[in-house]
Structures are given as structure tokens and as C-alpha cells.
Amino acid sequence: MHAHLLRNDASPRRERRFRLVFLLVIEAAIIAITVIATATSPTHAESIKPGMAPIDTEHLFGFVEGADIGDKGERELVIDSSVRAGRSTGSFANTASELELKYTAFENFRISAAAALAYYDIAGVTGIDNARRAAIQSLFFDARFRLLDRNRAPFGLTISAAPHWGFVDETSGVRTGHYGTEIQLLVDRELKPDRLVGAINLLFANDRARLLVSDGVQRESLAGAGAALAAQIMLGLWLGGEARYLRDYSGSALNVFAGQALYIGPTLHARLSGNAFVSAAWNFQIWGGAIAAPGALDLANFERHQVKLRFGLEF
């Protein structure tokens, strides 16, 4: 009887890991096939030519973003999916997909709105209840103001403010009411025209959550910085890499330090046609530390792997 129970406990964990790896492989294969098919087709080569249109740097990288916000009157629909996996114990996987509509109302000002749907697959993780369910995660708005246009200044500079309202905890999936704001400073520069672009991001975010079960209140904040490079290796196809450093705190204003993590990883961006694109990024934690859990990595506050897949359509 005991052996049977042990096998039942272990099997779901192996299945979860297999499903996560399978999902990532399938998504990566779809992107690779799409990129190769479009990049090598004659119509693709004819529709995308260096110098034909300004480079849109916003999604040229992965988790790091460029300072571009589009031209006045431009609208964009983006499906942004991310997978976070790997904690210090047990099996942890969280998949979240955002559907965002963006509109550039003025030359240097853009607004957008989005909804996020998440799926939680958690078992045996210390401090987090087991879960296997889907939920509407949050709603958010984003306002971006471009302070410097890269085409008229030495570099592009944009500030972003994005308030959000959530219905479940973004890590555990537990029902909760929470709200907060994410503020970013986005800088980019074309290091070699039509060939090499770099970007730097600075980040501050906070969140106030009320747990519906215990009626308690939790406050958390995050600070971070990121840098990325992307090079156009063939018409419409960009490859690059990025690095991000994140610090987690208890309290809404960076009050009590909880942990830190350093991520690095490759990025890919492909222009599918004149108005559609796809991008992907895989970041893995190479260094970190948590106050509550000593070690070479912080797997208490952050994940071991973070993957981003994005599809966008401009109209």
C-alpha cells in the first residue's frame, strides 16, 4: 500500500516536468519553423529591406524592451506568453498569457490595456500550496511617454507607468485582491544602423495584496535593471542576448531586502511580414541569494527559468 502511494505521489511530478519540457520544445519548434519559412521566402525578402522603415525596438529583445512606442495613430495587438519554472523544492510551473491592445494617441504618447490568463501547476514547493488550475490573473493599463526620439537624439528614452489589478496571486494562484504599479525607464540606441541595437531598462514595481482567506495584507516591491543587444543576421531576423538583475523586498518602498537574482539568456525576433512579428527569449538564473534560504541561487523569491514568447500585429 505504501509503495503504491509513493508511486502515485512521484508520478505526477514527473508528468509535470515532462509537460513543461514538451510545451517549451513544441513552442520553440513552432517559432523556429515559422522564422525559417518566412525569412527564406522570396516574398519575405522583398517585403523587408534595410532602410525601408525605421526599426521598432520595443520587442526587439525579450524581457528587456526598447524605447519605441510606434507612430501617431498606430495600433498594435500583442499576445505575450511567459513560462516561469523551477523552485528550490518540488515542481513549479506557471504559464501566463496576456492579450494587450496598444494605441499611440499622440506623437510621443501611447496607452494600452491588457488582461492576463494564467495556469498554475505546483506540487511540493515549500511555502506554496499544491495547485493545478487556470485563472484570470490580472488586468493592467500602461501609459508610455517618449522623452527622447532615437532618430533625433543620441538615444531613445521612454518612461512607462503600468498600474494593475489582480485577482489571484501571481506565484501561488491563491485567490486574492491586489493592486500595484510598475514603472520603467527604457533606453535604446542603434549602435550600427539597421544591424546592431542595444537597450537598457530600469525597473521599480510594488504590490499590495489582501488575502481573501485570512484577510491579511502583504506588501512587496521589486527593483531591477537589464541590458540587451540584438543583431540583424539576415533580413528581418534578429538574434541577441540579455541580462537582468532583480532585487525583491518586503514592503511597498524597498523596505526589507528579501533576495536577488541575476538572469542571462538568448533572444530572437523575426519580422513575419510588413506588420507582424514574433519574438522569443529564455532567461536562466546564474547567480542569486535569498535571506530565508541560503544558496548560490534565489529559488525562494525567483524561478530558475523564465521564458517569453510574443506575437504582435500592427494595424
More confident residue, 23 or 229: 229
Q: How many CA atoms lie within 13 A of 194 on its CB side?
A: 10
204, 226 contact by CB (below 8 A): no
**Whether the predicted pLDDT of 19 surpasses 90:** no
The DSSP secondary-structure symbol of 108 reads: T
Contact at 8 Å (CB) between 181 and 204? no
Q: What pLDDT digit, counting tens, does each position of 148-203 carry?
A: 999 999 999 999 999 999 999 999 999 899 999 999 999 999 999 999 999 999 99
Residue-level pLDDT at 24: 55
CATH fold label, 2-314: Porin (2.40.160)
What would the pLDDT profile of 96-155 be if each residue is shown by its tens digit? 999 999 999 999 999 999 999 999 999 999 989 999 999 999 999 999 999 999 999 999
List the chain domain ranges: 2-314
Q: What are residue 233's phi and psi, to 5 degrees?
A: -90, -20
Mean pLDDT of 228-235: 97
At 42 the three-state DSSP class reads helix
**What's the pLDDT tens digit per position in 254-288?**
999 999 999 999 999 999 987 999 999 999 999 99
Give residues with Cβ within 8 angstroms of 90, minimum separation 6.
Answer: 13, 122, 123, 124, 125, 126, 128
Q: Could you tell me the three cell numbers for 67?
A: 524605447
Determine the 3-state secondary structure of 15 from DSSP.
helix
Indicate the pTM of the whole model. 0.86
Residue 23 has pLDDT above 60, yes or no: no
Cα–Cα dist 84/114, whole Å:
20
Q: What is the pLDDT of residue 248?
A: 98
Tell whether the model's pLDDT for residue 290 goes beyond 90: yes
Grid cell in block for residue 183: 514603472
